[in-house]
Structure 1
Amino acid sequence: MSDRFSFARLLAVVIKELRQLRRDRLTYGMIIGIPTLQLILFGYAINMDVRHLPAAVVDQAQTQTSRQVVEELQQSRVFNFNRALHHPATGEALLRRGEVKAVLIIPADFERRLQGQRPPLQLIVDGSDQVVQQAARQIAQFPLRGTTTTASVEVLPYYNPHRNAPLNTVPGLIGVILTMTMVMFTAIALVREREQGNLEFLITTPLSSAELTLGKVLPFVAIGLIQTSLVLLLGKWIFQVPVRGSPLELYLAALLFIIASLALGIFISTLVRSQFQAIQAAIFTFLPQILLSGFMFPYEGMPKAAQWIAEVLPLTHFIRLARGIMLRGAGLDDLWPELLALAVFAAALLVVAVARVHKRLD
């Protein structure tokens, strides 16, 4: 064996590795797919400048000036006041359900307040979303067109009056942690069984594909609920993050999300051949979920195409459920569209995953 360095032998090894990489379609796809996905997401879909936030207006003055105020605020394109209400209580209910992000209150003595010291307008915003609070500050004061009068807006952040960042972060962090652990743990565990030859042994037993799949993932359900409890306890102890809604309903939402994440992990395990590939594929699914779900970047700032993709992702709906229950005190009856979307995703992917496991066993 020669001790002299040979560029010819080095080139042979490099060519061999490139050929092997070309045959590994998943890794090859990741090399192209991950930078492409990140470029598109960060360059096109991520936008901190939110526009057209859904909002409602309660015009108790019903004057020409009050209607002019609504029109000018609408032209700012920060909020979209497309819902006219008669009572502030109705607006608060819409805020709790997450149907609007803000409610503009124009009091009956609006004209008199314009000439006095009290703010003539009141904007109640969903304080559980920091992006909404930042957007509201853009219209804190604005001049009325055609006059020398400046209308000031009193911003009232409901659910997070002190603007504590952890109140917004911790509920979403539950979903992020469950996404990372449940998907990756499940995918790796099932692939490891195949690599170690245990799967072939289990095939010889009377177990059906459904029994085998559920038996493998049920322990992870318990792990996911333990992780949920840990984040809730630490969030309460360290950051004073409340659970204003029903803890039972929060755990039901978390359980459904855990099932959806486990189904995604099972599905990934049927597509890959090694634990390394399972990790790669799991990471590939993390990127769009974390970036498009509204956890890191505002959902309302994304273009419509990115929002459509976000609506397909389970983390998007769980974050809305967690923030609604924990911060706004909403119930599952208030948030049923998010619960339904999560249930459909979990059921559909679980059926597909079990079917693919059955096919692999055959």
Structure 2
Amino acid sequence: MKLNRLFAVMRKEIIHIKRDKVSLVISFIMPLTMLLLFGYAVATEVDHIPMAVLDLSNSHESREYIQAFQNSLYFNPDVYVENVGELNRLLDEGKVRAGLIIPPDFSHYKEKVVKPFLKIDGSDPTTARTALSSGIMVSQSFSNSLLKEEMSSKGMKIPSFGVDLASVVEYNPELNTQVFTIPGLLGLVMQNITIILTAFALVREKERGTIEQLVVTPITSAELMIGKLLPYVFIGYADFLMVLGLSTFWFKVPVKGNIYALLLLGLDFIICALAIGILISTVVQNQTQAMQGAFFILLPTVILSGFIFPREQMPEIVRAIGDIFPLTYFLVILRGIVIKGVDVSLLFHQIIIITAMSLLLLFAAIARFKKRLD
């Protein structure tokens, strides 16, 4: 082996690396960003579960009971509602993961057995299991303290009073993990495929030298971007129908809500994801950079969108970063329609954001391409 030839090859490769500044920057930024984001976002323990409270007793005793849930650190009983309908709506929207209903006669727990009721959102089995076991534990601890007090004052007679917490798991009573993961996988797979498809759309033209031919034609930037996008819309939507059918018939995860709304909103999300790929394609110079850019978007969404880990457990700044990804909102739509069967009106916020993102990303791609033509 000749060292001079070896160093010549090394020098040539260093020159290539210096010229490919985008790849060089990504190679340093990506591991740092991933470590920081995943280090804060990946949390296996579940605590501070958002809880709504319907306190029909409104007594000193009921407030002590609520405080016991607060003190456990497993629950955040910060939302108070006036009726069961409002509590159910918050569960449907995913704004709370548990709902505690305290009966009107709760203040008489020293005279008889009272039965508060805990409703749990079972669409995320990990959070639901923690809520179920923790809720029973908190209630039993609260009741046991009463029993000890009474038994110490009246001998060893077992009193016929106390708090007997009843519970029910909504949407996914069996706590089947597959019911939670399959709709999430549907969104994740579609995002990954569609972004990668269009991330290479303009790059191929640049590498083949055909981009100059497009520049000299009367085609406008908008016509070029939309023309590039539309064929992939059909491909992406065909993939969506195929994966949805596989989820329903093979994995036995039925769509409980409006299937037509899901089909329409799936199209909206596909356009949004394709627009991300198109925007990446206008920024990068070659297919290697396109792949790096695509993965720079795709990897954080696995962790930050709520696909695996509950977003409620993430720090606010990390949760805010997850808010910029369309998949975060589409997962709420998927799980809302597929698992919970909620009305589309409850998903209006997510629909508006995905639609707005689609338009914004497409306009950004058009503007970016115009700038590169100047």
- TM-score above 0.5: yes
2:101 aligns with 105
Q: Deviations over 1:252-285 (max 9, x none)?
A: 2222211211111111111111112111110111
Correspondence 1:36 to 2:32 = yes
| 1:134 aligns with one of 118, 129, 135 | 129
Shift of 1:161: 0.6
2:119 aligns with 124
| 1:288 aligns with one of 295, 300, 311 | 300
Shift of 1:89: 2.5
Instruction: Output the amino acid matched with 2:273.
Output: S
Instruction: Output the amino acid matched with 2:11.
Output: I
| 2:201 aligns with one of 167, 189, 205 | 189
User: Aligned pair in 2 of structure 1 residues 112, 16: CA closer, same or farther (>3 Å)?
Assistant: same
Structure 1: gaps (5+ residues): none
Instruction: Output the amino acid matched with 2:306.
Output: G
Instruction: Output the amino acid matched with 1:194.
Output: K
Correspondence 1:271 to 2:283 = yes
| 1:50 aligns with one of 43, 46, 52 | 46
Shift of 1:22: 2.4
Contact 2:118 2:135 in 1 (8 A): no
Shift of 1:78: 2.1
User: Aligned pair in 2 of structure 1 residues 88, 219: CA closer, same or farther (>3 Å)?
Assistant: same
| 1:342 aligns with one of 317, 336, 354 | 354
Shift of 1:87: 2.3
Q: Deviations over 1:297-329 (max 9, x none)?
A: 111111111011111111111111111111111
Shift of 1:294: 0.4
2:92 aligns with 96
Instruction: Output the amino acid matched with 1:154.
Output: A
CA distance in 1, matches of 2:114, 2:329: 36
CA distance in 1, matches of 2:164, 2:327: 38
Correspondence 1:26 to 2:38 = no
Contact 1:48 1:301 in 2 (8 A): no
2:146 aligns with 147
1:299 aligns with 311
Contact 2:109 2:163 in 1 (8 A): no
CA distance in 1, matches of 2:225, 2:368: 11
Shift of 1:202: 2.6
| 1:79 aligns with one of 53, 75, 96 | 75
> Helix, strand or coil for the counterpart of 2:53?
strand
Contact 2:280 2:293 in 1 (8 A): yes
Stretches of 4+ aligned residues off by more than 4 angstroms? 111-116, 149-152
User: Aligned pair in 2 of structure 1 residues 19, 245: CA closer, same or farther (>3 Å)?
Assistant: same
Aligned residues: 357
1:65 aligns with 61
Contact 1:113 1:120 in 2 (8 A): no
> Helix, strand or coil for the counterpart of 2:117?
strand
Shift of 1:334: 0.7
CA distance in 2, matches of 1:115, 1:215: 74
> Helix, strand or coil for the counterpart of 1:349?
helix
CA distance in 1, matches of 2:178, 2:236: 21
User: Aligned pair in 2 of structure 1 residues 296, 115: CA closer, same or farther (>3 Å)?
Assistant: farther
Contact 2:108 2:114 in 1 (8 A): no
Instruction: Output the amino acid matched with 1:122.
Output: F
Instruction: Output the amino acid matched with 1:11.
Output: F
Written as runs of structure 1 = structure 2, the 5 A alignment for 1:149-188 is 151=163, 153-188=165-200
User: Aligned pair in 2 of structure 1 residues 13, 126: CA closer, same or farther (>3 Å)?
Assistant: same
| 1:235 aligns with one of 238, 247, 252 | 247
CA distance in 1, matches of 2:282, 2:164: 59
Instruction: Output the amino acid matched with 1:147.
Output: L
Contact 1:123 1:155 in 2 (8 A): yes
Contact 1:186 1:266 in 2 (8 A): yes
Shift of 1:115: 7.6
Correspondence 1:354 to 2:361 = no
Shift of 1:59: 2.0
More displaced 10-residue stretch of structure 1: 97-106 or 148-157:
148-157
CA distance in 2, matches of 1:49, 1:182: 33
- Report the RMSD for the aligned CA atoms in angstroms: 2.2
Correspondence 1:328 to 2:328 = no
Identity value in percent: 38
